[in-house]
Amino acid sequence: MSEQQTQGNGPAREPATSQDVAGPSGPTTVVVADDHPLWRDAVARDLVEAGMTLLATADDGPSAVHRTKATRPDVLVLDLNLPGMQGHEVCAALGSLPTRVLVLSASGEQQDVLAAVKAGATGYLVKSATREEIVAAVEATARGEAVFTAGLAGLVLGEFRKMSTQPQADPSRPIPELTERETEVLKLVATGMSYKEIASELFISHRTVQNHVQNTLGKLQLHNRIALVRFAIAKGLDTPTA
């Protein structure tokens, strides 16, 4: 088992598919975990060249958990099929750590996607993604957005709806902890809309949408947008009101 610990801060560059949404203060910090050295090093290099700070790399599940807990990056870029621990086990082992997890896997199988998301992954990208798409996905994940390869977001939303077995609340009733605007944003989050789409729908800025989402996460004591979508669907907020 080997680990690398590297730091870098290359020239900043905005990926072609990134959204104009506020991100974490300073460069995005990352850990990359993959057992294929060439792929792992290439992804790490691309992220550093995009202006991110690489805190560490890992080549198996236990070292991914150890290095992530030790460095607490903004984003862990995680392969699913790691020696020692599978990707969903790594996600579960990170518990309430504020680090967001972006799975980058060769598999787009339904069971792999759902296992990772249920264990706490924020997003899921298949390895056929381009360099620009991977960089943009990491930045979006750092901002708290749920990023999925095309077609997988609908799969996850559908599964959350099936998982919601409790009686749904009346979506027209406000959630006491939230303001009217926060509840309005939450309803749109529950439908799978992106921050950009929500901003357009409500005629507000991307930054304002993100602020509402972050405030809502804090009030509801949730850790990421995936958990927020689960909460909203359980409350019936993904169902349009008449």
Residue 168 and residue 234 in contact, taking contact as beta carbons nearer than 8 Å = yes
Q: What is the dihedral of CA 162, 167, 172, 174, to 10 degrees?
A: -110
Domains of the chain: 3-156 (3.40.50.2300), 168-234 (1.10.10.10)
Read off the pLDDT of each residue in 200-224 and give the average, rounded to a whole number: 83
Q: What pLDDT does residue 16 have? A: 29
| Stronger pLDDT, 32 or 163, i.e. the higher one | 32
**Cα atoms found within 13 Å of the Cα of residue 211, Cβ hemisphere only:** 7
Q: Which amino acid is at 225?
A: R
Q: Which residues contact 185 (CB under 8 A, 6 or more apart)?
A: 198, 202, 209, 212, 213, 216
pTM over 0.85: no
Q: What is the DSSP letter of 18?
A: -
Residue 165 has pLDDT above 60, yes or no: no
In sequence order, what are the beta bridge partners of 57?
Answer: 4, 32
16-30, 101-115, 145-159 — which one is most confidently predicted on average? 101-115
Instruction: Look up residue 130 and give its two tokens.
Output: 């381009």
Instruction: Look up residue 203 and give its two tokens.
Output: 């005629």
82/43 Cα distance (integer angstroms): 16
DSSP alpha helix (H) spans, 95-205: 110-118, 131-142, 152-163, 180-190, 195-202
Closest CA to 49 of 33, 74, 30, 35: 30
Residue 110 has pLDDT above 60, yes or no: yes
Q: In the chain, what's the furthest Cα-to-Cα distance?
A: 58
4-8, 15-19, 50-54, 204-208 — which one is most confidently predicted on average? 50-54
